[in-house]
Amino acid sequence: MIGCLLTLSLTCSRSWMWRLVLAPLENVTLFRKDSFAQIVAASLDWPTTAQWAFWHLVHAEGIPGEWLIQLLPKLKSSQHAEAAANVLLMLKRADRDPNMNMLRALFSRTPSAEDTFTIDCIKILIEDPSTCKRVSDNVGNLLKKQMAAGDLHMGGGTKGASKKSPQKLSMEQVLAHLEQFTQLCLMKEKKSAEQIFSNATVLEAFSEAEK
């Protein structure tokens, strides 16, 4: 008999069980993009061993980092250490795509000196010179476009913000992350951080913000 059923039962603190059955079939789909973030959110309350098993399946499936975009603002390194570490591993292993949605989600996180998750993600995204240029351009374009649309405000206000925007950002929030980034990443050997702040689009955005 070819193989056997492997049942992985993960019991959560809310006394409910998520049961995943792996059958010896070809092209079995374990995860779907439209529900993956919800599964990860539920897994944050699972025991460490259950999370370890879950993330092994995630990495084996090669899930892209973009599937987690909506969850990025909610992760806290101190409370969700297992998930945060595995998200960083996903970004490091996958083809890095520092698109606008991902950067918006990262900057939407509450800035904190004790939580460097946003900075750690950006450091991974800029490791490659080609993606560093894209991150720089997208950071500048994010600032410029959201200021023009009324979504990005000095002082954290939301008056006049576009209702279509998935996340409301304040200029102070973005600058707080960038300031933390400069403190932790400037003067490194690769000079990747310097490339971001010397990027023409970023400089233009800062100039417009000062007007």
pLDDT tens string 164-193: 444 566 777 888 898 888 888 875 666 667
Residue 148: pLDDT over 80: no
Which amino acid belongs to residue 51? Q
User: What CA–CA distance (Å, rounded) separates 133 from 110?
Assistant: 25
| Average pLDDT for 132-158 | 71
User: What CA–CA distance (Å, rounded) separates 118 from 111?
Assistant: 8
The mean pLDDT value of the chain amounts to 75
CA atoms within 13 A on the CB side of 73: 15
Give one word for 3, left, alpha or beta, with left for phi > 0 and alpha for psi -120 to 50: left
Handedness of CA 104, 108, 113, 116 (dihedral sign): negative
- Percentage of the chain surpassing pLDDT 70? 70
Q: For the full predicted model, state whether its pTM sits above 0.85.
A: no
The pLDDT tens digits for 99-142 are: 888 888 999 898 888 899 999 999 888 888 878 888 888 888 88
Residue 6 has a pLDDT of: 34
Higher-pLDDT residue of 157 and 71 is: 71
Residue 68 has a pLDDT of: 87
84-87 contact pairs (CB < 8 A, 24+): 84/117, 86/55, 86/58, 86/59, 87/121
Residue 44 has a pLDDT of: 93
| Average pLDDT for 32-61 | 92
The single residue listed with the structure tokens 């990747």 is 192
